[in-house]
Structure 1
Amino acid sequence: MAHAPAPAPDKPLVVLTQRTIWLIFGALMASMFLSSLDQTIVSTAMPTIVGELDGVAHQGWVVTAYILAVAIGMPLYGKFGDLYGRRWPFLVAIGLFTVASAGAGMADSMLTLVAWRAVQGLGGGGLMILSQSIIADIVPASERGKYMGPLGALFGVSAVLGPLLGGWLTEGPGWRWAFWINIPVGLAAFAIAWFALRLPSHRSSRPVDWAGIVSMAVATTGIVLITSWESLADGGYDWTDGRLLGLVALTVAAVGAFVLAENRAAEPLIPLRLFKNRTFTITTLIGLVLGMGLFSAMAMLPTFLQMSTGAGVTESGWLMLPMMVGVMLTSIVSGFAVAKSGRYKAYPIAGLAIVAVGMVWLTTLAGDTSMWVFGAMIFTLGAGMGLVMQVVVLAVQNAVDPSELGTATSANNFFREVGASVGVALFTTIFTSRLTDNLGQVFAGAPDVGAGAEARLTPAMVAALPEPLHSGVVDAYADALAPSFWYLVPLVLVGFVLALFLPVIKLSDVAGMVARGEAIEDPAKVAARQEAVGERAAERSEVPVGTAGAAVGHHDAAPTDIVER
């Protein structure tokens, strides 16, 4: 395995006291909140932005540019953080995100907005990956769950707050403030990180894997563009289109070039030998299928809510609250439970089973489904999601060399992001195809509505339709969406089966920086642990002779001392 360069002897080692850990954790929370809040605020303001900038035809690029930049940036931040330290890449990520927010708020055309959203994605991808990696640097795997749980719950908080704030800003000061609000938050996050994020930096003599970076970027761009072609190209998927065929050929060639480059590189961007690690491979595949399945469902549910209830974007965001409550509840509870018990395998198994139940339940969705039942459906999805997302990251970090924490974390997230892109595109295509057929039948019996009315529907228009046309449109959306979930159930079940084979390795009690010789553990914590060991030894020495063998045997078989397979 590759090894991180040793810190320079003249640099003092970081002492990981509890105060230091909480300060760094606070900086990570502020930065993650910045990134996750932006995504939900902007999605709320997007219809207004598109209308003002006259960019309906290019709306898909605003989302695609951000997703693409996040996906490409993840492996770069992961590798560079391992090679050079994570402090400066983290500050760069905050800076990029904040500057891009200012630029996006001043955009006077869709082209300019798309460009700034891409820069925002480069910053957002770094904040996501480096936050997870830094937690692994400063907190042992045996205690990491209680920190990663709140990080996961932060996404739930932002998902609830974002639509409300985005709606208020759009209807009040204007949509540009949906971006400009990030500036004070970004400056505060940068200041906190500057003073609190005291992490070592170092130099690496190994050459940068430029061939791997370029081929990865080209391959990722191709995959995202191909899966988003339906929304980007005027004619949709036309397999006689030379542009589409050329893009497919270029993507296949780039994937092949990437594999060759990684086999030859001295310091590969994503070392292919990681896939020989069973934990890494299984957790990465779980992330891939979960991204394809779960994120696809999440992408279409708000649209159904708006059309079926007549709710605006802000209100539909609130109606998704049960899912976020489920995520927050189970991610925090499972995080603390893993930290207390040292066991993690049961949580992704249970989580994926719960997600599968939620998916099957959603296949019963109908136009007259009550909001209470719908809330229970999406709460089930969220509860399952919260049991999986953070635990699989913990598992992969615990299974790799401390010098490759960032690389393994970023690779795991990268494949989940690619899976989400592919899954959302395919699911949207299936849903749109069924919806077009259903709406065509509904409006065929209403010639007075006007030709092509189904293509111009908005939630307000649907709410204003007379009966039975209104019920027909709502049923058309439900009938198009509900059966589509059957396509996602097998993906989730594949993840469930994979989780059954997830190796269980004893959680390390050494933080990443300590293992690499870049920090020392809190002396008070070391003393407390030694005292506890001494007390246990004293208790064993007092056991009567007749039961000593049993006591020793029990200690040898303690769950925390076993590596399960």
Structure 2
Amino acid sequence: MSSTATQPPLAMTHRQIMEALTGLLAAFFTAILSSTIVANALPTIMSDLKGTQTDFAWVITAALLANAATTPIWGKLADLYNKKLLVQLSIVVFVAGSVMAGLSATIPLLLTARVIQGVAMGGLTALAQAIIGSMIPPRDRGKYSGYMGAVMAVGTAGGPLLGGFIVDSPLGWRWTFFVCVPLAVVALILLQVTLKIQHVRRPAKIDWLGSILLTSGVSLLLIWVSFAGNPEYYDWWSWQSALMVGGGILLLALLVVVESRVAEPIIPLKIISERTTALAIWASVAVGVAMFGSSTFLGQYFQVARGATPTEAGLLTLPMIAGNLIGSVVSGLLISRTGKWKRYLVAGAVLLIGGLGLGGTMDHTTDLWKAGVFTAILGLGLGMLMQNLVLAVQNTVSARDIGTASASVAFFRSVGGAIGVSVLGAILGNRVQELAAQGFAAAGISAAGGSGAALNLADMPAPVRDIMRAAYGDATAEIFLIAAGTAVVALIAVLLITERPLRRTVDVQPAVRSAKAAQGPAGSGHEVRREDQRFESRQESPTAELTSAGK
């Protein structure tokens, strides 16, 4: 029998895991906060930098698109290189983007800074999921994913609240970007002190061609949908639309061809074509539309349609924060206790549809307490869906593929968010113009056309301001209804997912184990059981798993 000294260490204790997660969750919180903190500041930013509704949407979309396009790259790097070093690199890039955004004096410069922030956010999101997946068995991962979901909940919905306070304070909107810098530095220090995971070097083969095709194809389609239908650019049915849509589809078709042939694909078709992963991806796209679309345009609704200050708009998002937090933490704890997860995905999808559908009944006169109830239901649905979709996927892949699989789900969620903000923003801008024109005509007011719906109503005459508020309120209801229709896709997808028991080991059990037990000599049952126990110990050890993954 081998010496005890040669045995790998046992699985990490709860205390060890929490210590390791401290800096990781701090970095993750900073990334999520940076993507949402500008939501309530955007009307002020657009007024200061002379932006339009299209610019408003693209300040969010630029970061989400960069996030989506780079998340699979970070995920693959997580499977190949030191995860701790990659997280720290992501934070450094994030700080650079945040400083640049805070110093921006023009919309193009701000968009460039948001792209840099998005690249870093892609890394932090993918690497956080990958590190959790490499340390914790799926059976126990529910509660830790719940902690991450809680952080995401507070960052996603709490960002607009903090952003509102900052905009109304003497600091001004630029500090919505600067405030993330010290948070990132603190996360960097915590990571250096607390995160201790073993790295085994593996040969690196990055699929750069696939990365370029992926980024180009997605970007082209999102740029098309953002400007199509705008009289200043091109119609939905035009040669420009045909060229951009055709080009985007062609690039993505080439991506599929490349990914089927390269040795280390950026999005492994074998992984994303697995039933659970494929269905989780469809659901994640719908969740992305709901999550980013609601948090982005909800703050605008409160400020523009209801006349709230940025601080008040942030406070009015508290019900969604509470719902998201409760849904994430409670479902995570219950999953760890019972091992059952599908029921929470189904319940989350139903609540998501219900919350968005109720949001579709709002207008510029809806009682604010009703809006709070509607957004709380929406938050519950988001909290029960986001992290548990990742958990379902991680339970079906081997530990060496966890980084790529987790990044793939996060990628498609970010794509959904980028599509949602871009498409819903374009629909909102066009619909506001239509409703405002109808309101002006009914009131006998002459109004000149513009390049986008105006976001600064303070200097408008009272009759014009009232018409614009009504137009924004009614148009916002329509985009919530569209998002609710998208959420139906999430419900269908999670209903079709087959629930598999959450395994208690970090990696998938190899078939050789059962074969060994079956072939054991007569009378050796005790020895086989001892071997099984040693096998369980090895599999529950993240160090052992990382070692085996590198061979």
CA offsets 1:168-209 (integer angstroms, 9 cap, x no match): 434413433322222222111111111222222333235322
Higher deviation after alignment, 444-453 or 90-99:
444-453
Higher deviation after alignment, 219-228 or 448-457:
448-457
Go from structure 1 to structure 2 and tell me whether the alpha carbon gap of 1:437 and 1:44 turns closer, same or farther (over 3 Å shift). Answer: closer
1:121-520 correspondence runs (5 A): 121-170=118-167, 171-205=169-203, 207-230=205-228, 234-235=232-233, 237=235, 239-242=237-240, 244-447=241-444, 451=448, 455-456=453-454, 458-460=456-458, 465=462, 473-511=468-506
Go from structure 1 to structure 2 and tell me whether the alpha carbon gap of 1:55 and 1:459 turns closer, same or farther (over 3 Å shift). Answer: closer
Q: Offset at 1:55?
A: 5.3
Q: Offset at 1:304?
A: 2.4
Distance in 2 between residues matched to 1:45 and 1:485, nearest whole Å: 21
* Contact 1:212/1:268 (8 A) holds in 2: yes
| AA matched with 1:152 | G
Task: Report the 3-state secondary structure (helix = DSSP H, G, I; strand = E; otherwise coil) of the residue aligned with 1:205.
Answer: coil
Distance in 2 between residues matched to 1:225 and 1:124, nearest whole Å: 21
Distance in 2 between residues matched to 1:102 and 1:328, nearest whole Å: 30
| AA matched with 2:37 | I
* Contact 1:323/1:382 (8 A) holds in 2: yes
Distance in 2 between residues matched to 1:159 and 1:460, nearest whole Å: 28
Q: Offset at 1:140?
A: 1.3
Q: Offset at 1:264?
A: 0.7
Go from structure 1 to structure 2 and tell me whether the alpha carbon gap of 1:104 and 1:420 turns closer, same or farther (over 3 Å shift). Answer: closer
Task: Report the 3-state secondary structure (helix = DSSP H, G, I; strand = E; otherwise coil) of the residue aligned with 1:311.
Answer: coil
Distance in 2 between residues matched to 1:85 and 1:231, nearest whole Å: 46
Go from structure 1 to structure 2 and tell me whether the alpha carbon gap of 1:89 and 1:237 turns closer, same or farther (over 3 Å shift). Answer: farther
With structure 2 as the length reference, what TM-score do the two structures score?
0.83
* Contact 1:138/1:512 (8 A) holds in 2: no
Q: Offset at 1:214?
A: 1.9
* Contact 1:64/1:228 (8 A) holds in 2: no
- Name the structure 2 match of 1:548: none
Distance in 2 between residues matched to 1:290 and 1:110, nearest whole Å: 28
Q: Offset at 1:48?
A: 4.0
Distance in 1 between residues matched to 2:439 and 2:228, nearest whole Å: 24
Q: Offset at 1:352?
A: 0.9
* Contact 1:144/1:339 (8 A) holds in 2: yes
- Name the structure 2 match of 1:41: 37
Distance in 1 between residues matched to 2:165 and 2:317, nearest whole Å: 18
Distance in 2 between residues matched to 1:483 and 1:50, nearest whole Å: 23
Aligned: 1:21 with 2:5 = no
Distance in 2 between residues matched to 1:427 and 1:122, nearest whole Å: 23
* Contact 1:227/1:425 (8 A) holds in 2: yes
- Name the structure 2 match of 1:562: none
Distance in 1 between residues matched to 2:230 and 2:62, nearest whole Å: 11
CA offsets 1:389-421 (integer angstroms, 9 cap, x no match): 111110001111111001001111111211222
Q: Offset at 1:290?
A: 2.6
Aligned: 1:119 with 2:116 = yes
| AA matched with 2:195 | L
Q: Offset at 1:14?
A: 9.0
Q: Say how many residue pairs are matched.
A: 505
With structure 1 as the length reference, what TM-score do the two structures score?
0.81
Distance in 1 between residues matched to 2:106 and 2:427, nearest whole Å: 31
Task: Report the 3-state secondary structure (helix = DSSP H, G, I; strand = E; otherwise coil) of the residue aligned with 1:228.
Answer: helix
* Contact 2:47/2:455 (8 A) holds in 1: no
Aligned-pair identity (%): 32
Go from structure 1 to structure 2 and tell me whether the alpha carbon gap of 1:315 and 1:343 turns closer, same or farther (over 3 Å shift). Answer: same
Higher deviation after alignment, 248-257 or 480-489:
480-489
Distance in 1 between residues matched to 2:370 and 2:476, nearest whole Å: 16
Q: Offset at 1:348?
A: 0.8
CA offsets 1:356-401 (integer angstroms, 9 cap, x no match): 2223323332333211111111111111111111111100011111
CA offsets 1:507-538 (integer angstroms, 9 cap, x no match): 121235999xxxxxxxxxxxxxxxxx99xxxx
Task: Report the 3-state secondary structure (helix = DSSP H, G, I; strand = E; otherwise coil) of the residue aligned with 2:395.
Answer: helix
* Contact 2:156/2:295 (8 A) holds in 1: no
Please give the root-mean-square deviation of Cα atoms over the aligned residues, in Å: 3.1
Relative contact order: is structure 1 or structure 2 higher (C-alpha 8 Å, sep ≥ 6)? 2
Q: Offset at 1:347?
A: 0.5
- Name the structure 1 match of 2:72: 75
CA offsets 1:106-130 (integer angstroms, 9 cap, x no match): 3344433322221111111111111
* Contact 1:146/1:335 (8 A) holds in 2: yes
Go from structure 1 to structure 2 and tell me whether the alpha carbon gap of 1:300 and 1:400 turns closer, same or farther (over 3 Å shift). Answer: same
Go from structure 1 to structure 2 and tell me whether the alpha carbon gap of 1:506 and 1:101 turns closer, same or farther (over 3 Å shift). Answer: same
| AA matched with 1:424 | V
CA offsets 1:74-94 (integer angstroms, 9 cap, x no match): 001111101223112111111
Distance in 2 between residues matched to 1:174 and 1:207, nearest whole Å: 45
Distance in 1 between residues matched to 2:33 and 2:230, nearest whole Å: 26
* Contact 2:160/2:299 (8 A) holds in 1: no
| AA matched with 1:22 | M
Distance in 2 between residues matched to 1:67 and 1:384, nearest whole Å: 21
CA offsets 1:199-223 (integer angstroms, 9 cap, x no match): 2233323532222222112222223
CA offsets 1:272-309 (integer angstroms, 9 cap, x no match): 11234211111111112232345434433322222332
| AA matched with 1:112 | L
* Contact 1:137/1:513 (8 A) holds in 2: no
* Contact 2:440/2:446 (8 A) holds in 1: yes
CA offsets 1:23-55 (integer angstroms, 9 cap, x no match): 111111110121122223333333444454555
**Which runs of no fewer than 5 residues in structure 1 stay unpaired?**
1-8, 516-532, 535-565
Q: Offset at 1:59?
A: 5.2
Task: Report the 3-state secondary structure (helix = DSSP H, G, I; strand = E; otherwise coil) of the residue aligned with 1:287.
Answer: helix
Go from structure 1 to structure 2 and tell me whether the alpha carbon gap of 1:231 and 1:328 turns closer, same or farther (over 3 Å shift). Answer: farther
* Contact 1:352/1:388 (8 A) holds in 2: yes
- Name the structure 2 match of 1:6: none
Go from structure 1 to structure 2 and tell me whether the alpha carbon gap of 1:238 and 1:126 turns closer, same or farther (over 3 Å shift). Answer: same
Task: Report the 3-state secondary structure (helix = DSSP H, G, I; strand = E; otherwise coil) of the residue aligned with 2:260.
Answer: helix
Go from structure 1 to structure 2 and tell me whether the alpha carbon gap of 1:65 and 1:431 turns closer, same or farther (over 3 Å shift). Answer: closer
